[in-house]
Amino acid sequence: MIDSLKLDKRVKNLLLILREKDLVTYRHSVRVANIVHFICVEWELPNVELITRSALLHDIGKLRIPTHILDKNAKLNEEEWTLMKNHASDSFDILHSLFSPDEIDFQMIRHHHENEDGTGYPVGLKSTNISYNTKLIRIIDSYEAMTGIRPYRKPLTKEDAIGELKRYSGIYYDRDMLERFHYTINKEVSAVAKSSYVVGSHIL
């Protein structure tokens, strides 16, 4: 699925540019898309291709963030953090000019850092105003960020990552969806690992 999406010229070109600029975000995006795809299939959600394509490109706005900020291993200062937070709206801008609403879930892209309690960005939407697909990528984005390989830290185990997500259940993440995600990821973790490996080997 992911590889067939990447064959679309627009998707492929964006991912190639992202890989060139920021390998960590590129790998994160591919892994997020793999997990999102896995969950969509397990939960029999409609529009699997639309959701997976959106997951693959959710961080494409990072193309507009200066490399020294993306690569910084220390805490970002206020000005850098403000720039970094623009990436969600920038992803929306870039994708809006290239895709139609039946190809990309624009709400999911623009709001993938909104929190249940309204403390997220760019708008500060609260739970009832956050769409289902947006809540889904919010969880999986964080799960991948914790469990994925990064140059500056060891990945958390699946159990530790779930534990960390649950500390913010109902605060950042939708409570019921997080429970269901926990159940599904426990059940089929080997399938996710396998799909990640396939894509991982493809990109290395």
Q: Which residues bind Fe ion (CB under 5 A)?
A: 59
Identify which of residues 59 and 116 has a Cβ nearer to Fe ion in the complex.
59
Q: How far is the CB of 157 from Fe ion (least distance, A)?
A: 23
What is the rounded CA–CA span in Å between residue 153 and residue 147?
10
Closest-approach residue to Fe ion (CB): 59
Cis peptide before 151 (omega within 30 of 0): no
What is the rounded CA–CA span in Å between residue 192 and residue 162?
15
What is the rounded CA–CA span in Å between residue 87 and residue 40?
25
Identify which of residues 59 and 174 has a Cβ nearer to Fe ion in the complex.
59
Identify which of residues 60 and 178 has a Cβ nearer to Fe ion in the complex.
60
Q: How far is the CB of 194 from Fe ion (least distance, A)?
A: 25
Q: How far is the CB of 62 from Fe ion (least distance, A)?
A: 7
What is the rounded CA–CA span in Å between residue 105 and residue 133?
8
Q: How far is the CB of 112 from Fe ion (least distance, A)?
A: 6
Identify which of residues 44 and 71 has a Cβ nearer to Fe ion in the complex.
71
- Contact predicate 37/52, CB 8 Å: yes
> Which pair of structure tokens corresponds to residue 110?
């623009």
